[in-house]
Each structure stands twice: as C-alpha cells, then as structure tokens.
Amino acid sequence: MKVAEVVFKELSNFTRTIFGNPGTTELSLLKYLPGHMNYVLSLHDGHALGMASGYHLYTGRVGVTNTHAAPGLTNSLGYVYSARLDRIPLLILVGQQNSRKLIDEPILSTDLREIPYAKGVIDVRYGEEVPKAILRGVKTAVSSPPGPVIVGIPYDIVDEEIDTQVEEIHPMIAQVNYQRQCDPSIISLLAEELNRARRIAIVAGYEVDITDAHEELKELSSKLKAPVFAEPHFSRSPSAEFVKILPRNASGINSALSEYDVVLLVGGMLHNVLYMDEELRTRNVIQITSDSEEATKRAWRSILCDPKSFLKEILPKVTEREGSNVLDLKVKEGRVGEIMKALSSRLNGYAVFEETPSHKEPVKMILGRRRRLYFSNRSGFLGWAIPASIGYVMAGGNAVTLVGDGSFHFAPQALWTATNYDIDLRVLILNNEGYESLRSRADYSAPFFSPKVSPLRVAEAYGFETLETESINDGLDWLMEKGVRRRVLEVKV
C-alpha cells in the first residue's frame, strides 16, 4: 500500500471530511484522495483551520485540515493560536518539501518544529513512520488539553510502497474525552470548607458547556445561595444563570469578587483578561478543571476533575442555605441588546458564532446563555466566526454568524465555500462604521479607527442575498426566513 493510501485509510476510520487549501507540495498526496472523502476547499489556508474547528464543535471529533508547509502554516498562525487557547483538537496535515533536500532549504520548506502555538509537531521523514504519525497526531490532539497538532508529510514519500501495519483509529480515539473522576477524599474536605464559608461565589467557564454540567451547576448555586459569574471572555455558554460577566481587567475581577471568602472556579479561567493591571487575588480561589495544563499553571488551588463529575459528587455533601443567589446588577443593553433579544426569539435551534469585539457584553449577556449553542473564541482573534460556522453547518448543524463590519473583512473569502457547497448560512453584521472597540478605549481620535467599508457588496460578490435595514424585526424575519440558503443582514448600531 502506498503512503498516501495509508493516510486516507487511517483518516477514513473517523472522518469523511478534510478542509484544505492545497499547494504544490500537496499535489502528490491529493492524487490519491478516495471518492468517499469530501475535500472542502477554502480560499485561504487559515479558513480551512477555522472550518475544521467548527466541524469539531458540532461532532466532538478532531477536525482534519490539509495545508501548505511554510507559506500555508504561517498564513494560518492566528487560527492555530486560537485553537490552542480554545482547546480545539485539529490534525493539520502539511505537505513538506522533498525530504532528501531539506538541508538545502528549498522554497516552501521550513523546520515545522519552530512553528509556534501548535500542541505538537510530528515531522515525518520516512514512509514507514506515517501510520504511527497519524495515530499519534490524533491522540495528541484530543488528549487533555486538546489542541492543534501538525503532521508534516514530505511530497517525495507519498508514492512509496510500505510494508507496514495500518493503524486502526477507532472513532472513539478521535473523540475528546473530558471525563476525569474526582478524588473522593478531596471532595469531602472541600465540602466541609464550603459549609464553613460565609459567602461563596461561583465563576463558571467553558468546561461547564463541554461536559454539559449546566443543571448540576444551577443546583449547586441554588443550594449554596452562591451567585454565578461568567469567566471573562468566555467562548461557550458557562451557565444560563450567570448574573454578570467578569470584566476584562484584573482589577475589575478583584473588585467583583472581593466580598466573597470562597470563589469556586468551575471549568473556567480567571487569567484570560485583556488588561493585567494588577495581580489577581488568588488566596480564596479553588479551581475545578479537567485541563491538566491549566491546573498546573495558576497560583490558586486546583482540583483536576471534570466539572460534571465534581458537581454530582459535591452536591449531596453541602448544606443547603437560606437566602438568595440573585444579585440586582443593572446591565446597559441599548440597541444591541434589543437586536439580540429579537434574534434570540427567532433562533429555533440555530447555533450562534459570535465575533463582535465592540459589543461583546450585551451579546454575551443574552446569547451566551444558550446551552451548547453559543460559540466564540477566547483569543481575541478576528476572522474565526465565519469559517467556524461554515464547518459547523457542513458537519450537520445550523448556524447564524454574528460579526461586526470590521471583523467581517478578516474572512470574507470563506463565503465562497458556503456558496460553492450550497450550505445554509445566515450572517448578521452589526455595523458601527469602524473599530468601535478601539475608538472607545483610545484617548485620542484618528482616521484609522473609522474605515468605511461595504460588507454587503462583498457578500453579494460571493453569491449571498443581502439586506440593509433600520427595522430590527423586519430584517430578522428576512434573515431567518425558512426555505432560503444564504443571506447577510446589516444593521447599523
């Protein structure tokens, strides 16, 4: 069996979809692409990684991409970085230069081990290594914490016949397993500490959504009369019950949590802030996480255990309290909040992929409560939401993409893939005529904060129906109309 045939035989055990943008060093591999394998073309290398990320978010399995070596990977670094921070498992198959000539540093070649942000890099040199390299790449990508893994395959070895056993990759191996059982003795000690505590706050994060621990978290919050705060910059729904999103600066987090003698951090992160303007106060923080890397890094106490198992085991051991876990916190929603409420009533099972830096708080306060139906990225990277929503839909889901006029222009080419493969995609653009997230923070004005762009004209060029409207309800009715495939709605905010 040829090396290229081995690659596709292994991949076929757990996926039928590869997202890619091929280059010269991939031609020899793709010649062997089997008829049952769907190669989804993106017009930008990085967008293939974004689409594979969305594929994972729907299926739970590792997303597979194929891209160019040095140019393609460096073109995709933002997506690699985002996948690493968002704990998304990707298998990135890279066409490497001629293995016998790498010493000469020909064009397109690079030392893949120097590519930053990848969780792992496997730089194959011999055909016999390929079966083990693919298996190792998958297992590394899905192990805790999940992340992107690069496997480089030189183009000169793909036609080689190899006499080696093809590794059978069971579909379950390609699935992330977040289950980590808790130590019963630690749970008992923690329950005693919680029962002695005067005031308790819960900070919930993305792992609550991943492990589907929403109901258990709600029950613990009610039993302890502990308000639920959402982790800063969350990428998935932390809870439907959260009263406040923790701010994006350390001093704001310290202030919000200062009156609690125990802060239970369940499946989330506190350090993911934009402004580390002072040290986070960590003395009273207890973190519950299935993320082995995260558990070793922070100054606070960490218990390595998945949130769902933890919550199930701690609930019978804590004493129910009197009082209320509701805080009367006013949130200014404005026009964006009005739009989000109107959109929420029309979603009917559609997932939302959000990338609106200027309006994150009102968007997240309303749509971020949707259990397993809200997705963003925690890296601050722009250009992720449109490709990710396309991958999600191609895996079998339904999605609405919510972007700003600025972030739209980081990935407009991805719309071509939606049109070319005839998928159903709805895009809502909140147009504030520039970079409001910068304008609102800068203490000066400058023309480069307010570029005037025409996203609807771009969308039309890629085959989407478009509409600009001042009427929220009429516009959203048009966007979510049944029986249509691809629409972009622009609303000025």
pLDDT 10s digits, 13-24: 999 999 999 988
| Domain that residue 401 falls in | 334-492
How high is the pLDDT of residue 104?
Answer: 63
Helix, strand counts (H, E) of the chain: 20, 18
CB distance 400 to 343 below 8 Å = yes
The Cα 3–Cα 126 span in angstroms is 10
For 320, residues 6+ apart whose C-beta sits below 8 A from its C-beta are 223
How high is the pLDDT of residue 435?
Answer: 73
How high is the pLDDT of residue 458?
Answer: 96
Q: What is the CATH number of the domain that holds 379?
A: 3.40.50.970
351 and 486 together in one domain = yes
How high is the pLDDT of residue 433?
Answer: 78
Count of structural domains, the chain: 3
How high is the pLDDT of residue 322?
Answer: 87
Pairing mode, strands 301-304 and 38-41: unpaired
197 and 95 together in one domain = no
How high is the pLDDT of residue 444?
Answer: 78
253 and 350 together in one domain = no
For residue 417, tell me if it sits in a domain.
Answer: yes
How high is the pLDDT of residue 107?
Answer: 67
Residue 3's closest CA among 133, 177, 143? 133
- Total-model pTM: 0.94
For residue 405, tell me if it sits in a domain.
Answer: yes
How high is the pLDDT of residue 167?
Answer: 65
Ranges of the chain whose pLDDT falls below 50: none
Pairing mode, strands 63-68 and 38-41: unpaired
